[in-house]
Amino acid sequence: MNWIQETGTGPEQDWYFNTRTGEVERGRRSRGVDLLGPYPDEETARRALEIARERTAAADRADTEWNDPE
């Protein structure tokens, strides 16, 4: 079973945040390089920058713990 069958969505139904325009989009209408996502709904896509900051902070913490485990 592929991803589209499992979720019932796909590139044309999912939500994206456009980093160039600051707008939320339904479906892949813009260049992929400008998009964050996909997200399951519009509200989550609106939080894309916040989610990215949280994930970056978590990755930074994991790197610090990996490099200095004590």
Q: Which own/partner pairs from 33-41 qualify as long-range (CB within 8 Å, at least 24 positions apart)?
A: 38/9, 38/11, 38/14, 39/14, 39/15, 40/9, 40/14, 40/15, 41/15
The pLDDT of residue 12 is 76
| Band (68; pLDDT cuts 50, 70, 90) | confident
55/3: higher pLDDT: 55
Boundaries of every domain in the chain: 3-67
pLDDT digits 0-9 by tens, 8-41 = 467 678 999 999 999 999 998 999 999 999 999 9
